[in-house]
Structures are given as structure tokens and as C-alpha cells.
Amino acid sequence: MFTDRHRLELPSLPTLANPQLEAELIEIIDQKTKPPGSLGRLESLAIQLGLILNSTSPQIVDPQIRVFAADHGLTDEGVSAFPKAVTQQMVLNFLAGGAAINVFARQHNIALKVVDAGVDGDFEPHPDLVSLKVMRGTRNSLTTSAMNAEECMQAITCGMGLVREAPGNLLIVGEMGIGNTSASSLLLSKLGKLPIADCIGRGTGLDTAGLAHKEQVLTQVLHKHRNLKNPLEILAAMGGLEVAMMVGALLQAASQRRILLIDGFIASSALLVAEKLQPGVKDFAVFSHHSAEPGHSQLLKLLDATPLLDLQMCLGEGTGAAVAFPLLQSALGFLNEMASFTSAGVSNKPHV
């Protein structure tokens, strides 16, 4: 499918390995007025953020959420409890400010834009809508490739361009697309070499019979595309337009030393693809929460990730990342504002 003319120019990644900066950050933290290590994971988080932003006094500036929306041809096979029309309806809900991600974005003052990556419907112009529609939903991956090479590359390239034009140094990618848990499960199974049964869940609310049907359909999809090896070919054959656009967004954001605050199952599947294409992307990622979607546990293992929260959330949209955002603010708050033993006139030696 992908030939020599289908060359994707991926942005190069800066190295995060900086022993001197890391030592300086550790020294700053160890001199704070507290017992060593007493702020737990907030301390390692502060170090990671300092390395990503290349500073001993890092600040989050203009955080951004981009919610990517697209439809999936595989929904024709009955793999979702909700009809495809819900994708378009939920985009309208986002634009009206009524979804969960809108609430959390307002709460934490994070700028939110919705991206039409491939919704099977049309929208009136809206200041919070970015129209990058590649096609009106993917094809049915049970019968053919979800995307051809050109469409997949266009989606990735659009995601990269979107981030290049966006302000800020922290990015949350969210998604909306009926059927996208199936697409992400397929990507996880194929790229992670895992049984599909370990990668699927009930998605938007399948009953037991629906879950069994979903497993059967996805098994057939994997068999159809069993000879594919290249990550781009796998993404095109079984992924989604919103996932592909998220891949591009994550690659570009990492290349610009932005913090990637990763949401749940779908966002993590996009990160897995990005990591396969450009190893090291995951080093720029902070994993916000452990989704209740079963495949997310497998993704976290593959990405060697420990999420900050476990709230049994599985909504998508970027909601888990938005909820975890204040933890990053707290990590940088203590790093930048907490007194040192010297400045506070406090002895850092235990009394004997």
C-alpha cells in the first residue's frame, strides 16, 4: 500500500537526556523544606516536566485541548452500542459547550478546539471548530483498508500542521468517534502482538452478546490484514482518521518540546502508533489516568507508563487528562514557589 512515493516526513525529536539539568532539578527539590521524597510522584513529575521544557523553573503556558472527531466504517458491522450519527451530534454538543470536556476545560482555563477529522456530516462554521475533514469517515476495515495511503498521510500531516499553528507548551488530545474503541483495539492487538480478547471492552456500553460479536468481527479484521507489518500500513488499514490525526499532533508536539498530557485508551493507542513511527515520543508524555477500558492496561504496559490517577473513567474526549491537569500545576508550583531550607532559615539536618 505504501510505496516510495508515500514518504512521510516526520519531525525529529529533541533529546531529553540532560544529566546536568536533571541533577540541578533534583538538587532544587532536595533543598525544599520537606523530608526527602515526601512529595512522592509529584517530585518525579516535576523533574520530567523540567526536562521536557528544558528549564529549572518550568511553567505551563497556554495549555491546549484538541478533540478530534471522525466516523468509522466498521460500525456497519454492529460493533458499537450507539449509531454513527452520535459522532456528529456530540460534535455539536462540544461546540455548544455542553460536554464533560467543556466543563473541565472551563474549570481549568484550558483552550479547547474541536477538529473535524472525518465526520460523516457537515457543520456550519464555528469559532471553536477546525475543519480538516479528510473524508466522510473511514471505510469498513472488514472488507477493505479503512484508509488508503494518501488519506492516512493527509490525516497525519493535518495533525502536525494543526499543532504547528497552536500556541502553548502543553497539549491534550481528545477524541470522539463511534467505533473508535474497535479501531484502537485492532491497533493495540496488531502492534502489540496481543490476542484481541485482551484488547477489547464494552466501549460505549455493549452487552455480553454485543461484546462477543465485537470480538468475532475484530478477529476477522485482523485475519484480513494479517500480513501487514509497517505501522503506517497498519494504521491505514485498521485505524481511524481521528487516531491518525492525533498521531501527527503528538509527533509535532513532542518535536517542539510540548508536554503531552495523555488521556485514556484511544489517545494512548495514538501514542503507541507515534512511538512505533518515532521512538522516544513517549518520553514527552505524562499519562493522566488509567481508563476502565480493558485494553488500556495493555497499552500502559507496552508504553511502560504509570498513570497519575485511577478514577474508573472511560469517557474519552480528553476528560481524564483535563482532570489530571491540576496535578501538573501542583508539581510545578512546589518546584517554583516552595521555600528552600536556606531561604526559610530552616535546618535540613535532623536533630540528634
Same domain, 154 and 173: yes
Let me know whether 107 and 43 are in one domain.
no
In a domain, 349, yes or no: no
Q: Which residues pair with 114 in a beta bridge?
A: 67, 129
Whether 179 contacts 270, CB under 8 Å? no
Same domain, 45 and 165: no
Number of domains within the chain = 2
The mean pLDDT of 339-348, rounded to a whole number, is 83
Q: Is 228 within the bounds of a domain?
A: yes
Asked if the model's pLDDT at residue 2 lies above 70, the reply is: no
pLDDT of residue 351 exceeding 70, the answer is: no
Burial 300-310 (b: 16+ CB within 10 A, else e): bebbebebbee
Are residues 27 and 99 both part of a single domain? no
Q: Verify that 153 and 269 share a domain, yes or no.
A: yes
Q: 3-state class of 344 per DSSP? A: helix
Quick count: other Cβ atoms within 10 Å of Cβ 131?
13
Domain-located, residue 93: yes
DSSP string, 84-125: THHHHHHHHHHHHT-SHHHHHHHHHT-EEEEEEEE-SS----
Q: What pLDDT does 352 receive?
A: 42
CATH number (domain holding residue 322): 3.40.50.10210
Are 20 and 56 in contact by the 8 Å Cβ rule? The answer is no
Residues 151 and 238 in one domain: yes
Tell me, yes or no, whether 51 and 88 share the same domain. no
Full residue range of the structural domain in which residue 49 is found: 19-59+334-344
Q: How do residues 286-328 score in pLDDT, each as one tens digit?
A: 999 999 999 999 999 999 999 999 999 999 999 999 999 999 9
250 lies in some domain: yes
Do 51 and 86 sit in the same domain of this protein? no
Residues 251 and 179 in one domain: yes
Sheet of 285-287, strands arranged across: 129-131, 111-118, 64-70, 170-176, 259-262, 285-287
Residue 162 and residue 285 in one domain = yes
Same structural domain, 215 and 233: yes
Q: Let me know if 124 is a catalytic residue.
A: no
Is 80 exceeded by the pLDDT of residue 242? yes
Asked whether residue 350 is domain-assigned, the answer is no
pLDDT value for 9: 87
H or E element: which one contains 236? helix 231-238
Indicate whether 1 pLDDT > 70: no
Q: Please give the pLDDT value at position 201.
A: 86
| Mean pLDDT of the chain, nearest integer | 95
Identify the active-site residue in 22, 77, 317, 337.
317
> Considering the domain boundaries, does residue 1 fall inside one?
no
CATH number at residue 36: 1.10.1610.10
> What whole-number percentage of the chain has pLDDT above 70?
97
Q: Do 309 and 323 touch, CB atoms closer than 8 A?
A: yes
Give yes or no for residue 350 having a pLDDT over 80: no
> Quick check: 230 pLDDT over 50?
yes
* Residue 9 domain-assigned (yes or no): no
- What is the CA 123 to chain-centroid distance, rounded? 25
Task: With a cut of 60, say whether residue 5 has pLDDT above it.
Answer: no
Compute, in degrees rounded to 10, the torsion defined by CA atoms 30, 31, 34, 39. -40
Asked if residue 7 belongs to a domain, the reply is no
37 and 186 assigned to the same domain: no
Confidence of residue 4 (pLDDT cuts 50, 70, 90): low
